[in-house]
């Protein structure tokens, strides 16, 4: 297919850096589109590489979403939360019932599976919508056939929005394989800013808590949050990397040789993200263990010093207690120097104990 349909080859150098989101699809504030049928769940539909008139006139309806016999693929984008879109996918789309149920499943994990000429692809990406949880990765569900692409959304996706903008300009990929390349590359690169942010936060915490030997509970809480985020991200990124590897090594018919090469780049990017998450998880665990060890050492030192003080005070308290009993025969009872002598004896005993402890290396 034309090289222009593969933005990865133009914008993503084969280096080991974590690329920016703009390397794959433009990083922009994309206004939402008015759905073709908001109540029914049809967000939009267009023939690739896109036709501006499709979006201006909303000329495609539910009756125009069948499987085309030939030509460039028809891209159908649905809102899976709407009952009518679910019904259409199950009963009228012509999609295998297993595929339909997989696309509509509430709980999904990244996967790739071939069904005849089509490919079911479920991937995960950062949820950049307002109010989203920090560690939330939301599912992108795709069904790709040679002449039809069906995508479903539960939340708005920057990747899909950017591709829709390209389609409105007539500049979207012209094949299902090119579409998959753009989606996979964008999802992989969009993880990079999040991972870099986590790494910077972890570096700052390590510097403050390890180099400066501070132990602020707020930093301990943030460290635990980073570790949880890394574990949560990795839970989806690792199977996503494996799914992309399956596409690369067991390529379906919709992928050309060029598509496979471009998907390999996205797979390697996902691999680097997974490795970075593993490293952060391990670093956070080591930092937590070091913090715990330092805290335990400080507590142990404090308890030890209190024990030494109590040991020194014990005989002194015993002596003063004996001198304070109300019986006859108390030494120095009638001496005007009695109090001073007792204080001197107590001081000498305390000094003797300290010298003994020093000699025994207890202090």
In the predicted structure, residue 362 carries a pLDDT above the cut 60 = yes
Q: DSSP letter at 34? A: P
Helix-strand-coil split of the chain, %, nearest 5: 55, 10, 30
- pLDDT digits 0-9 by tens, 123-167: 998 887 766 665 678 899 999 999 999 999 988 888 899 999 999
pTM of the predicted structure, to 2 decimals:
0.72
How many CB atoms lie under 10 A from the CB of residue 337?
Answer: 9
Q: According to the model, what pLDDT value does residue 88 have?
A: 95
Query: What percent of the chain shows pLDDT beyond 90?
Result: 35
Instruction: State the Cα–Cα distance between residues 145 and 115, nearest whole angstrom.
Output: 10
CATH number, domain 3-292, options 1.20.120.530, 3.30.200.20, 3.40.1010.10, 3.30.460.20:
3.30.460.20
Burial of 340 (0-12, 13-18, 19+ CB in 10 A): exposed
Q: According to the model, what pLDDT value does residue 40 have?
A: 92
Instruction: State the Cα–Cα distance between residues 158 and 163, nearest whole angstrom.
Output: 9
pLDDT-based confidence at residue 6 (cuts at 50, 70, 90): very low
Q: According to the model, what pLDDT value does residue 99 have?
A: 94
Q: Which helix (H) or strand (E) holds 164?
A: helix 158-168
In the predicted structure, residue 116 carries a pLDDT above the cut 70 = yes
- pLDDT digits 0-9 by tens, 299-337: 888 898 888 888 888 888 888 888 877 777 777 777 778
- Where in the chain are the domains? 3-292
Q: According to the model, what pLDDT value does residue 213 have?
A: 65
- pLDDT digits 0-9 by tens, 7-24: 333 333 333 333 333 333
In the predicted structure, residue 5 carries a pLDDT above the cut 50 = no
Distances (CA, A) of 77 to 19, 166, 169, 206: 27, 14, 17, 45
Average pLDDT, integer, range 64-72: 89
Query: What percent of the chain shows pLDDT beyond 70?
Result: 88
- pLDDT digits 0-9 by tens, 188-244: 888 888 888 888 888 888 887 766 666 667 777 888 888 888 888 898 899 999 999
**Gyration radius of the chain over CA positions:** 34
- pLDDT digits 0-9 by tens, 257-270: 999 999 999 999 99
Q: Which helix (H) or strand (E) holds 309?
A: helix 257-323
């Amino acid at each position: 297919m034309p090289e222009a349909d593969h933005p990865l080859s133009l914008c993503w150098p084969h280096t080991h850096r974590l690329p920016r989101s703009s390397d794959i699809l433009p990083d922009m504030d994309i206004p939402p589109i008015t759905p073709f049928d908001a109540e029914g769940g049809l967000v939009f539909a267009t023939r690739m590489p896109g036709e501006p008139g499709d979006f201006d006139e909303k000329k495609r309806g539910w009756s125009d979403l069948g499987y085309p016999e030939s030509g460039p693929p028809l891209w159908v984008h649905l809102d899976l939360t709407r009952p009518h879109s679910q019904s259409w996918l199950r009963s009228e789309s012509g999609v295998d019932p297993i595929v339909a149920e997989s696309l509509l499943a509430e709980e999904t994990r990244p996967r790739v599976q071939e069904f005849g000429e089509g490919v079911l692809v479920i991937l995960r990406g950062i949820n950049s919508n307002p109010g989203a949880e920090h560690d939330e990765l939301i599912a992108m569900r795709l069904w790709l056939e040679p002449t039809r692409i069906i995508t479903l959304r539960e939340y708005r996706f920057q990747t899909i929005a950017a591709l829709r903008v390209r389609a409105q300009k007539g500049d979207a990929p012209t094949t299902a394989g090119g579409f998959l390349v753009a989606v996979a590359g964008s999802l992989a690169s969009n993880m990079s800013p999040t991972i870099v942010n986590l790494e910077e936060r972890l570096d700052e915490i390590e510097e403050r808590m390890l180099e400066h030997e501070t132990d602020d509970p707020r930093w301990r809480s943030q460290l635990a949050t980073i570790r949880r985020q890394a574990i949560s991200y990795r839970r989806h990124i690792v199977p996503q990397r494996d799914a992309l590897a399956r596409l690369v090594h067991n390529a379906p018919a919709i992928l050309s040789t060029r598509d496979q090469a471009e998907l390999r780049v996205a797979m390697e990017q996902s691999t680097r993200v997974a490795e970075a998450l593993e490293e952060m998880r391990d670093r956070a665990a080591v930092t937590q263990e070091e913090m715990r060890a330092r805290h335990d050492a400080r507590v142990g030192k404090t308890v030890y010093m209190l024990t030494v003080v109590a040991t020194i005070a014990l005989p002194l308290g015993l002596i003063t207690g004996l001198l304070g009993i109300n019986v006859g025969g108390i030494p120095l009872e009638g001496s005007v120097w009695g109090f001073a002598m007792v204080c001197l004896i107590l001081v000498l005993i305390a000094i003797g104990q300290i010298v003994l402890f020093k000699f025994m290396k207890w202090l």
